[in-house]
Structure 1
Amino acid sequence: MRRWHLLVRRLLEEEGITQFVFGSAGSGHIAICSPYLRGRLIVSSTPKKEKRTLQNVRRDVRRLKIPQEARDD
């Protein structure tokens, strides 16, 4: 699980999400909260296929991410 957290952390940093908190979402899921995201991002805490799940997390981060222009206001 530590490896998975590290992979998700790196992905978030690559996408420009610098402030985030991992929380528990119950039922074996992780909630990621950030002022740079619209809402919470829920991911599995133990994915079956890491590569595919990372692709899905990246897609969801890009969908929920607040644009840089809106952050500066």
Structure 2
Amino acid sequence: MHQLNGPLREKPPILEWDAVLEKKVLLHRKELLLEQDFQISPEASEGIQDFEGELVFQACNNSICVPLSRQPFSAALEIRS
């Protein structure tokens, strides 16, 4: 099994005043870039391996937040020694 290696990294957010919450909040506009390193198991077979995960997130505007969303994702990774 593969393991996460280190923290999830994100593109630096913007610090902006939110009138509804009456405080400064960190936010992203239009796009969000996330990066995560992981360690391949020494027992992993060489060749193309499917890597699957799920991103759980919530989006808000100035008046409402949508419920938590779950977005599955997958990537085909080539394992080489």
Per the TM superposition, whether the score is higher than 0.5 is no
- TM-score (ref. length: structure 1): 0.31
**Bigger proportion of residues as helix:** 1
- TM-score (ref. length: structure 2): 0.29
| Larger Rg belongs to | 2
